[in-house]
């Protein structure tokens, strides 16, 4: 059932704009044709009424789609200009770090490819308890209960839904003791507004835009901000 739902979602993402064809026809039949016929009843050429009604339907649909899409796109562009460029004020070397919220399986990339010796985080079910995750000799993730944090630096990862359905993932690297911010990066997505179903994936916008060279660099920095700002190694 989940595969079926996923397949429908993919089809709508690709062929969603085709839904505008029956919508436009319904607008023509149910709104513009009777309205134009009433307003132009005295016009001697019926073909002129049909022509005006035929043009009015797609124009009206286009106007509604534009009103649905562009306000959110303007806000998306504003947020992109404000947040899409990563900011790294200082790079440090750290053996590990603390993350404010993390499931155990999320520690593996940092311990494996990332090269960190440990990652610390609160118990996902009890914020008063803390764990340290390390890579065991067998390659498994070892979860150790701890009383005191060893980390000097923290990572905060947030997800927020904003106006017009815009979503933003944001990472902040900071000094645990002072809350001094070392780095910040964000990834913002706009699905296309309340009528995005009819625009499919063509209305989807994200920044940084990984399709451009500058955007690809910025997205890579966001994705790897931990290893970019907290260079895995022995602290100075």
Condensed to tens digits (0 to 9), the pLDDT of residues 37-92 reads: 777 655 555 677 777 888 898 999 999 999 999 999 999 999 999 998 999 999 99
Q: Give residue 233's region: left, alpha or beta (phi > 0; psi -120 to 50).
A: left
Domain assignment of residue 176, yes or no: no
Which residues share a beta bridge with 128? none
Q: Yes or no: say if 125 and 141 are a contact pair by the CB < 8 Å rule.
A: no
Domain span at residue 35 reads 2-67
Q: What is the pLDDT of residue 32?
A: 84
Q: How many whole angstroms separate alpha carbon 58 and alpha carbon 50?
A: 13
Helix (H, G, I), strand (E, B) or coil at 205: strand
Residue 43 lies in a domain: yes
> Residue 227 falls within a domain, yes or no?
no
Residue 144 lies in a domain: no
Q: How many domains does the chain have?
A: 1
What's the half-sphere exposure (Cβ side, CA atoms, 13 Å) at 134? 9
Measured distance CA(161)–CA(25) in Å, rounded: 34
Question: Model's pTM, two decimal places?
Answer: 0.81
Q: Is 177 inside a domain boundary?
A: no
Measured between alpha carbons, how far is 108 from 198 in angstroms, rounded to an integer? 39
The pLDDT score that the predictor gives to residue 44 is 52
- Lowest model confidence (mean pLDDT) among 37-51, 66-80, 101-115, 121-135: 37-51
Any domain includes 42: yes
Is residue 47 included in any domain, yes or no?
yes
Grouping H, G, I as helix, E, B as strand and the rest as coil, residue 4 is helix
Which pLDDT value is given to residue 172?
96
Mean pLDDT of the chain, nearest integer: 86
The answer to whether residue 159 is domain-embedded is no
Average confidence (pLDDT) over 185-197: 93
Q: Tell me the sheet residues that pair with 97.
A: 119
Please give the average per-residue pLDDT across 156-181, as a whole number.
Answer: 94
Cβ neighbourhood burial of 108 (10 Å; 0-12, 13-18, 19+): middle
pLDDT in tens, 152-165: 999 999 999 999 99
């Amino acid at each position: 059932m989940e595969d079926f739902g996923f397949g429908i979602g993919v089809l709508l993402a690709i062929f969603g704009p085709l839904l505008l064809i029956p919508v436009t026809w319904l607008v023509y039949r149910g709104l513009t044709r009777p309205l134009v016929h009433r307003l132009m009843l005295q016009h001697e050429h019926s073909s002129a009424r049909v022509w005006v009604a035929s043009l009015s339907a797609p124009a009206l649909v286009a106007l509604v789609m534009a009103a649905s899409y562009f306000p959110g796109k303007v806000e998306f562009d504003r947020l992109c200009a404000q947040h899409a460029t990563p900011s790294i004020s200082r790079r440090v070397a750290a053996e590990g770090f603390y993350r404010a919220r993390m499931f155990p399986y999320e520690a593996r990339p940092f311990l494996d490819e990332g090269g960190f010796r440990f990652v610390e985080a609160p118990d996902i079910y009890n914020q008063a308890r803390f764990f340290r995750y390390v890579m065991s000799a067998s390659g498994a993730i070892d979860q150790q209960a701890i009383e005191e944090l060893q980390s000097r630096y923290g990572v905060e990862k947030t997800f927020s839904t904003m106006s017009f359905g815009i979503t933003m993932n944001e990472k902040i690297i900071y000094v645990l003791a002072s809350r001094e911010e070392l780095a910040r990066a964000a990834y913002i997505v706009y699905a296309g507004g309340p009528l995005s179903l009819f625009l499919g994936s063509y209305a989807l916008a994200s920044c940084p835009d990984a399709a451009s060279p500058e955007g690809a660099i910025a997205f890579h920095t966001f994705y790897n901000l931990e290893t970019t700002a907290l260079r895995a190694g022995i602290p100075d």
